[in-house]
Structure 1
Amino acid sequence: MERRLAAILAADVVGYSRLMGSNEVGTLSALKAHRNELVDGKIAEHQGRIVKLTGDGMLVEFGSVVNAVECAVKIQREMRLRNADVPGDRRIEFRIGINLGDIIFEDNDIYGDGVNIAARIESIAKPGGIAVSAVVRDNVNNRLDLAFEDTGEQTLKNIERPVRVFNVYLGAPQPGAAASAAQAAAKSATPVVPERQSIAVLPFTNMSGDSEQEYFADGITEDIITDLSKIMGLSVIARNSVFTYKGKPIKVQQAAQELGVKYILEGSVRRAGQRVRITGQLINGTDGLHLWAERYDRDLTDIFAIQDEITRTIVDQLRVRLLPEEKKAIEQAPTGNVEAYSYYLKGREFRHRFLKSNLLRAKQMFAKAIELDPLFARAYVGIAICDSLLRFRGDTSIRFDDILRTAVKALEIDPSLAEAHAARGFALLVADRRQDAASAFQRALTLDPNCHEANQFYGDFSVTGGDLETAMKHYTRALEINPEDYHSVFQLMSILKSLGRRDESEKYARLGIKRTEEALRRVPEDSTPAQLTAVALAALGERDKAMEWLARAQAIDPDDWVIRYNAACTYAQLGEADRAIDLLENCLQGVGNDFKRWFKNDSDLDSIRAHPRYQKLLELAE
């Protein structure tokens, strides 16, 4: 056992659990790249020693406190650049804490208060920031051209005495900042990436005492998320990520850490007849302090005014500058008819469940909303998206010109609806108007980069055009936006296999199987997860399990032609070429050009392309 003085750097990934939940393969790959290309090199350059690695963090020992701080600053500034074009909810950001103190060295590991304090300081550092103890600040203050923010004495978990903590200044100087900060910013060759305030809106609790009103509370939550997402100065966690917290006991500070945000909005909704009570609380996720709380007791007809007030209050509290076009967008009520809005929220709730029967039910709700308000653009979008998803799942009775007509109607009323452009793009893709489809998808993603349907449909468009790199980009984004999306996961499996990246392909196959098993537990009457699981298991060479899952899918939907196609993909990968081709001959008769293009580019069928009967299949696909 040896005692010595050392600078200890503790680091971890902000929101690691959320990142892993949305895309564990992509997260691990990105984290590995950051370490290999940046972090490990900087540590070595500054004579540091990596003592311990955890799933999302590390403990590093430095002989020099100056080296420790300089290393941390270079890592965080470079990470800002790396994250500049990465959506907020998929960025890998580090928190770093540094302390200088006595440590115990034994069996190649380190212990003691010096280590514990560094770890506790790291836990209160800002995302993408560096927090240091007073002794660190005192030792480097005149030796590095940096400025520090004094946060005062902090009570740290399991540390007997309060510790004075400073944040290291990394960005551009604010008015009144110390001259040394201005000099540091001027001298630094590293461009500064503006930092946006980050917030998550947790699902509002239904306090109505009626489970049938759950859709209303969820709808209010989703619309507040939508309004906040329109504001450039805010980074807002997507709906599907926050709804994983629905119905669970929540510790706000833990949720903020898992989601990688500074602020949390939570609340409740109580609806009784034509009256509604909505409460909201804005909480600092770092220290748990309430920044704002309000209760609204209003007529139901004031529901849009309440949402507008909540959004405006958050903007004011976080001191975010609201642009004129953003102000106009959040003030625009989707409909003047509250009953139509209620039907729309019911339809949206059904639409999120994806099962065919739920999509049909959702269409009924949207149609009722349109009866009550023929100018309700979002309701037309709802029908267009439902029809797109039904067609996507193999329902050829859905006509592409009907989808196109409905989407165009929505856009005539409100051209700013990203989902309407996505549905229009899907219809144009089915109609084989590919150039127009690409423009529609690009417009949708310009309006809302977090539009799940736009990313997924654009991925499919890219696969059928043979552009696998673009397809990978949009499928990766789609599965991160929606943690329940297994379609995009399996498409990445197939694409990576085509590109010869089998290790990554197998990881996505395992991730996809995990998601489909969860989907079948939720909705056992849906055959789609079972079909795709069979294909993935076949790709992994697990014949018996693949056949078991295929039989399960066929038992649920024996007459579904999409099952026959996925069965062909399963057999092809298991080496049963004739059996696969028998099924494909049946599938390819009477289908549209969109499916024929898919068949020609589907890597699951690569093993049968040299088969003599395959040329006849190509003739059917012409």
Structure 2
Amino acid sequence: MRAELERVLAAPGFREAGRLAPFLRHLVERALEGETAGLKESVLGVEVFQRAADYGPRTDPIVRVEARRLRGRLEEYYQGEGAANPVRLTLPKGGYVPVFQVVDQRPGRGGETVFRMRKAALLAGVLVPMLAVGLLIVARWGGTPGRPEVTAVAVLPFRSLDADPANDYFAEGMTEELIDRLGRLPELSVAARGLTAGYRGDNVDPREAARALGVSVVVEGSVRRQQDRLRVSARLVDAATGSALWTEVYDRPAGDVFAIQDEIAASVANALRVRVKPPVAPVPSRYTANLEAYQSYLKARQQANRYSAEGFEQAVRHYREALAVQSDYAPALAGLSQVYALAFYYNALPPGVAPSEPRRLAERAIAIDPALAEAHAALGMVLGVGDFKWKEAEAAARQAIDLDPRSALAHGLFAAAVLMPQRRFPEALASFRRALEIEPQLSYLNFTYAFALLASGDTTAAIEQYRRTLSLQNVHPDMEWDYGMALGFAGRHAEAAEAFARADRLRGNAPGRPFGIAALLAGNRAQALLDAPRVDQAARERRTSRMEAARLWAMLGERDRAMEWLERACAAGETQAVWIRADPRLRSLQDDPRLHALASKLGL
């Protein structure tokens, strides 16, 4: 189905159709992911056409108008160059759920073409997976098979009973693994980890949690480690009655943790009368039987999620420890690739690590486990913001999403590292929203989503999103600085200056007056003009980036000087040059042919 979408979008009539192409892609991707409930005017107006949150279709018919244009463009395509395609994509009148017709083209009466769905393809299982995720497939001769009944389940965070909070990572790992194992069963709809993360602690009422999460049963439990022993308590709770459908206590050697995870998942499935062939689901090489490697991997994941310089440093250490124990541990390779890719972007790769290392690690992880979504997501990130190979990056990112549609990281990295630099804002914003539906508490996703809103021109929404980001635990100095930038663009100069001061304090610097771009955003243009030569000198001496000088001159309206520094930044391979088309500080240059020529060299 995606192949047909790509064929359609590659046609000249869609390449030059403005926002029709991203509109169509949004509709198909949401349908493929089973998110058809969001394919309605009020939602599409906000997600695709960047209308305000209170958008009303009655007063603004943009969605209906563009849908009408889209239907006409699809009809033209299939009457012309797409006439021989084996699959047809349509958008029925009165709705926004795309429909695919798998056709067998045979001459009919009067030279007409008869379109029938081929039963052999259906029996071969080509279309059944699409039905399972809610994509509507129609044919003139028949209806749609029924879907299996699905039970909604939530795995609440397992409580760590260890006295040392440093061991909380083990309980978090138990929760994640159970969510993953149960999520592999098509008969179960499992709430994402990010949605359940707030239900942590001793005073959580499983019935209240179930009502809030919209599930019918809840898995809860605790973990205690004592030297080489592991005690895991788990139970399955009926949300309606609060009674336990199943309960068990496991007292085993710590090395049995993997068997315990499988047994809990199998017991939950059996209690819900879900037929399972042991093990619960295919558990490929992404899981290790080595407890030491597994523990290091969990610690690394926990630290990487902090999104801080210290967290990244600790994540690198723990990933390396895992790989020292088991060099072919694919999840650790993928995780280290992601951390190195971010370090490369921030010019902070550890000594001795080559810029090519993130890609090498991702490709090695894929070679070991081709079904590992996070490895493909890491590769997509590296190919995009690292190598500027946008087609390859998009293919890798989409492969990650295909492998694991429930991966917030896959959706988020696709938006941040592939769509955003290409100014594909509607698609990027939709991908960010999907990622945050899955993992609403991840700092990195919230932060980059706020920047995407600002880059797309929605300053008010960006400010609100930055506030949400700063309300989370893991605050990076760049989050405060970017919040100040959004406030500055909104004309709220005093508040911007306060945010810049907080960013300085987080970096360990004594807050001083805003300097350079910060001075301009704080409302002091005269000071920014005085600072500009000092920024130039710092860029020449490599104490700051060439991009920083380019941004400042662009905001001051000095296009020639800005372009001069942009050209130097691109020639030097500065990583932030990837944003030359999306950075809001470079808006004044977006109609400059020189910028377009420069962007084309980067494949943008």
Q: Fold-level match, TM-score > 0.5?
A: yes
**What corresponds to 2:467 in structure 1?**
513
Residue 265 of structure 1 deviates from its aligned partner by 0.5
2:283 maps to 1:346: no
Residue 267 of structure 1 deviates from its aligned partner by 0.4
Residue 327 of structure 1 deviates from its aligned partner by 4.3
2:257 maps to 1:303: yes
**What corresponds to 1:424 in structure 2?**
379
Residue 204 of structure 1 deviates from its aligned partner by 0.9
2:175 maps to 1:225: no
Paired residue type of 1:551: A
Unmatched 5+ stretches in structure 1: 1-24, 38-80, 86-188, 560-564
Moved more, 190-199 or 283-292: 190-199
Contact persistence 2:179–2:193 (CA under 8 A): yes
Provide the rounded CA distance (Å) in 2 between the counterparts of 1:467 and 1:455.
14
**What corresponds to 1:405 in structure 2?**
360
Identify if the C-alpha distance between structure 1 residues 554 and 545 changes in structure 2 by more than 3 Å, giving closer, same or farther: same
What are the Cα deviations for residues 299-322 of structure 1, in whole angstroms up to 9, with x where unaligned?
112111110011111122222344
**What corresponds to 1:105 in structure 2?**
none
Residue 479 of structure 1 deviates from its aligned partner by 2.5
Q: Secondary structure at the match of 1:368?
A: helix
Identify if the C-alpha distance between structure 1 residues 298 and 258 changes in structure 2 by more than 3 Å, giving closer, same or farther: same
1:395 counterpart (328, 344, 348): 348
Identify if the C-alpha distance between structure 1 residues 191 and 225 changes in structure 2 by more than 3 Å, giving closer, same or farther: same
Provide the rounded CA distance (Å) in 2 between the counterparts of 1:436 and 1:611.
28
More strand by percentage: 1
After TM superposition, the score normalised by the length of structure 1 is 0.62
Higher relative contact order (CA 8 A, sep 6+): 1
Contact persistence 2:454–2:486 (CA under 8 A): no
Unmatched 5+ stretches in structure 2: 1-45, 60-94, 100-142, 537-547, 551-564
**What corresponds to 1:601 in structure 2?**
582
Contact persistence 1:459–1:471 (CA under 8 A): yes
Pairs within 5 Å for 1:191-590 = 195-247=149-201, 249-322=203-276, 327-330=280-283, 334-393=287-346, 395=348, 399-429=354-384, 430-460=386-416, 461-485=418-442, 488-489=445-446, 492=449, 502=458, 505-516=459-470, 518-519=471-472, 522-523=473-474, 526-557=476-507, 568=517, 571=520, 576=525, 583-585=548-550, 589=569
Contact persistence 2:580–2:599 (CA under 8 A): no
After TM superposition, the score normalised by the length of structure 2 is 0.63
Q: Percent identity?
A: 29
Moved more, 196-205 or 506-515: 506-515
Provide the rounded CA distance (Å) in 2 between the counterparts of 1:406 and 1:531.
32
Q: Secondary structure at the match of 1:375?
A: coil
Provide the rounded CA distance (Å) in 2 between the counterparts of 1:613 and 1:548.
36
Residue 333 of structure 1 deviates from its aligned partner by 7.4
Contact persistence 2:341–2:382 (CA under 8 A): yes
**What corresponds to 2:28 in structure 1?**
none
Identify if the C-alpha distance between structure 1 residues 408 and 616 changes in structure 2 by more than 3 Å, giving closer, same or farther: closer
**What corresponds to 2:33 in structure 1?**
none
Identify if the C-alpha distance between structure 1 residues 568 and 487 changes in structure 2 by more than 3 Å, giving closer, same or farther: farther
Pairs within 5 Å for 1:50-129 = none
Residue 493 of structure 1 deviates from its aligned partner by 5.2
Provide the rounded CA distance (Å) in 1 between the counterparts of 2:281 and 2:468.
43
Provide the rounded CA distance (Å) in 1 between the counterparts of 2:515 and 2:331.
34
Residue 434 of structure 1 deviates from its aligned partner by 1.5
Provide the rounded CA distance (Å) in 2 between the counterparts of 1:193 and 1:512.
40
Paired residue type of 2:377: A
Identify if the C-alpha distance between structure 1 residues 527 and 230 changes in structure 2 by more than 3 Å, giving closer, same or farther: same
Query: What is the aligned-residue RMSD (CA, Å)?
Result: 4.1
Q: Secondary structure at the match of 1:287?
A: coil
Provide the rounded CA distance (Å) in 2 between the counterparts of 1:545 and 1:533.
9
Identify if the C-alpha distance between structure 1 residues 190 and 300 changes in structure 2 by more than 3 Å, giving closer, same or farther: closer
Q: Secondary structure at the match of 2:287?
A: coil
Instruction: Give the length in aligned residue pairs.
Output: 438
Identify if the C-alpha distance between structure 1 residues 306 and 487 changes in structure 2 by more than 3 Å, giving closer, same or farther: closer
**What corresponds to 2:5 in structure 1?**
none
Provide the rounded CA distance (Å) in 1 between the counterparts of 2:151 and 2:264.
16
Provide the rounded CA distance (Å) in 2 between the counterparts of 1:558 and 1:192.
60
**What corresponds to 1:115 in structure 2?**
none
Provide the rounded CA distance (Å) in 1 between the counterparts of 2:594 and 2:501.
26
Contact persistence 1:351–1:358 (CA under 8 A): yes
